Amino acid sequence: MKKNLSNASVISLITAAIITVSTLFVPWWGMKFYAPQYPEGLDIIVYPSTLAGDIDIVNSLNHYIGMALFSNESFPELQWMPYIVLAFVVLILIVALLRRKSFLYGLIALFVIGGIIGIWDMYRWLKEFGTNLDPMAPIELEPFIPPIIGENTIANFVTHSYFSFGGYLLVLVFILLVFPLWKDRAK
């Protein structure tokens, strides 16, 4: 078998695998809501396996505009996301073990496709929650779609959506996956 990845590239891939595992324990994405009565801000923090922050308070406020309840149950992705992450880690380690550049191309393609699907999925949920408002809600609002990154104003609330540590770490993982392509480029 033709092994065409250098030791440095293998180390890069193993590092990428370790970092990927570590993202399981940090938030990937978040939203922070500010209003005059919440100057300290309310948080929604999304970990790959669970929601955290002021979920109950946000739900009780969203009730006014008829938005569906946020909970771990409303996002089935959260239940199998850790397995996807772990499966990807296994794939990285296999590529590192086999040292085949062609496999690495496949891995990067998979990573990019996964990322695009992930962002599309998030957008889908944001659209679902923001536009599918209960018509019986006491306060009637125009449907809205909060941005994945950036600022948005709904009634008296200003929301900031942002990628968190996990998101940045995944960017780092991508760089570490691409690094061997440069390191072991044809001379």
Partner 1 sequence: MTTKRIISAVLGIIAGLLVAVVFFADFNKAGENAAGDIKSKAEKVYVPYGELDEYYMMSSGGHSGQLFVYGIPSMRKIRTVPIFTPDPATGYGYSKETKEMLGGFTWGDFHHPAISETAGDYDGEFLFANDVGNNRVAAVDLSTFTTVDIMSLPNMGGPHAGVFVTENTEYIALPTRFARPLDNKYADLDKYEEEYKGVVSMTTFDKETKKFDLAYQIVLPPWSYDLSDAGKKMSGDWIVMTTYNSEFATTNLEINASQNDRDYIVLVNWKKLEEEVAAGNYHDVNGAKMIDPRDHKGAIYAVPVAKSPHGVDVTPDGTRYIAAGKLAPMMTVFSFEQTFEAIEKEDFTDEKYGIPVLSYESVMEREVDPPGALGPLHTQFDDKGNAYNTMFISSEIVKWHIETGEVIDRTPSYYSPGHSAAAEGDTVSPDGKWLVSLNKISKDNFLSVGPSHPESMDLIDISGEKMEHIMAVPVDPEPHYAQIVHRDKINTITVYEKDENRENSVWKQEDARVERKGDEVHVYGIAMRSRFIFDAQSDRPDAVTVKEGDRVFFHLTNIDLDQDITHGFGINEYDLNFEVQPGQTSTLEFVADKAGVYPIYCTNFCSALHQEMSGYLLVEPK
Residues forming the site for partner 1 (CB under 8 A): 54, 56-57, 60-61, 63-64, 138-139
Give CA–CA dist 85/82, Å, rounded: 5
Give CA–CA dist 51/27, Å, rounded: 9
Give CA–CA dist 67/133, Å, rounded: 5
> CB of 58: closest distance to partner 1 in angstroms?
10
**Taking CA 79 as the corner, what is the angle to CA 73 and CA 80, rounded to the nearest 5 degrees?**
145
> CB of 60: closest distance to partner 1 in angstroms?
5
Give CA–CA dist 69/27, Å, rounded: 20
Q: Which is nearer to partner 1, 64 or 168 (CB)?
A: 64
Q: Which amino acid is at 168?
A: Y
Q: Which is nearer to partner 1, 31 or 55 (CB)?
A: 55
Q: Which is nearer to partner 1, 135 or 138 (CB)?
A: 138
Q: Which is nearer to partner 1, 25 or 64 (CB)?
A: 64
| CA dist 46 → 27, 126, 138 (Å) | 5, 13, 28
> CB of 69: closest distance to partner 1 in angstroms?
10
> CB of 14: closest distance to partner 1 in angstroms?
43
